[in-house]
Amino acid sequence: LSLLHTHTHTCSKLVFVCLFDWQVEPNATIGEIKSMFHKSQGKSLKDEDVLQHLPVGTTATFYFRDLGAQISWVTVFLTEYAGPLLIYLMFYFRVPFIYAPKYDFTTSKHWVVHLACMCHSFHYVKRLLETLFVHRFSHGTMPLRNIFKNCTYYWGFAAWMAYYINHPLYTPPTYGEQQIRLALTVFLFCQIGNFSIHIALRNLRPPGSKTRKIPYPTKNPFTWIFLLVSCPNYTYELGSWLGFTLMTQCLPVAAFTLVGFIQMTVWAKGKHRSYLKEFRDYPTLRSPILPFIL
């Protein structure tokens, strides 16, 4: 009995499929077949893989499958980041139909509200500029449906946070100016750290290349956290939103921070496993996102 095992790799709008031929006895159980399948799992095929280096024997059949509607990573990032920037500003300026008519185009009497708007705007302007001038994407496109999912997440949370922070009845943090200044320091420190990591990761990959290397600390002190974690960009991102949560003392911000932390932890663990699998000499001291913890 001959069975075919498909091994897939996403390539723009196509899936690259390589078929391996198995010889299985007719009395083999499904459990044994599953075991054979798992043992045969290897690395995903890449566009730059050379045919003669693939474990396909003397005969192989290749198929290409259309993945359906795709959209570029840059377009998705620009859309999902521009939305929160504009939505937040609508609440900040209190455009009509958000709060009571008497509050239309009024401003808050609390200086922390204005500071929060500047920090939130700075964060998303930074993200937009990084998308255009810093990030280098290993894959050109993603499924079109992702833009709706991502925008619902970012835009929805931005509206929820902005509604309460800019509400006429908003009250400042419990410990006042000291709490706000501490939060601002944490926020700015982590924003600089996040940007530093993005630059370090960019420098690892020459333009047009898909080469992967182990990231190491550079002369920039903000990159020294690479000694302890695999994805310090997520660590700094978490720190930024913790700072913003402390600054605003707003429950929707805390919820966004928690959900973001959970998602970034999933991404960090996946990236960490990928590093360990690809590089035998990968530093064992590193954790995915939080030093010595997670």
Q: What is the pLDDT of residues 80-100, one digit of tens each?
A: 999 999 999 999 999 999 999
CA dihedral 108, 110, 113, 118 (to 10 degrees): 100
Taking the alpha carbons of 51, 55, 59, 65 in that order, is the dihedral positive or negative?
negative
pLDDT of residue 195: 96
Residue listed under structure tokens 């799992």: 41
Mean of pLDDT values over 143-166: 94
Better-scored residue on pLDDT, 145 or 35: 145
Type of residue at 107: T
Does the pLDDT value for residue 26 go beyond 80? Answer: no
Residue listed under structure tokens 């496109």: 141
pLDDT of residue 105: 94
pLDDT of residue 10: 45
Least confident of 42-51, 177-186, 213-222: 42-51
Does the pLDDT value for residue 115 go beyond 60? Answer: yes
**Global pTM value:** 0.79
State the DSSP H helix or E strand holding residue 17, giving kind and residue range, or none if neither.
strand 14-23
Q: Cα(206)–Cα(208) distance, rounded to whole angstroms?
A: 6
pLDDT winner (highest mean) among 27-31, 46-50, 72-76, 205-209: 72-76
Mean of pLDDT values over 201-221: 85
Taking the alpha carbons of 161, 163, 166, 167 in that order, is the dihedral positive or negative?
negative
State percent of the chain over pLDDT 70.
Answer: 78
Residue 36: which pLDDT band, with cuts at 50, 70 and 90? low
Start-to-end CA distance of the chain, whole Å, equals 46
Mean of pLDDT values over 59-67: 63
Mean of pLDDT values over 252-281: 95
Better-scored residue on pLDDT, 171 or 14: 171
Q: How far is CA 289 from the centre of its chain?
A: 12
Q: Cα(108)–Cα(225) distance, rounded to whole angstroms?
A: 38
Phi and psi, residue 140, nearest 5°: -80, -35
pLDDT of residue 8: 42
Q: Is 231 helix (H, G, I), strand (E, B) or coil?
A: coil
Are 136 and 73 in contact by the 8 Å Cβ rule? The answer is: no
Least confident of 151-160, 255-264, 277-286: 277-286
pLDDT of residue 27: 76
Mean of pLDDT values over 25-47: 66
State percent of the chain over pLDDT 90.
Answer: 64
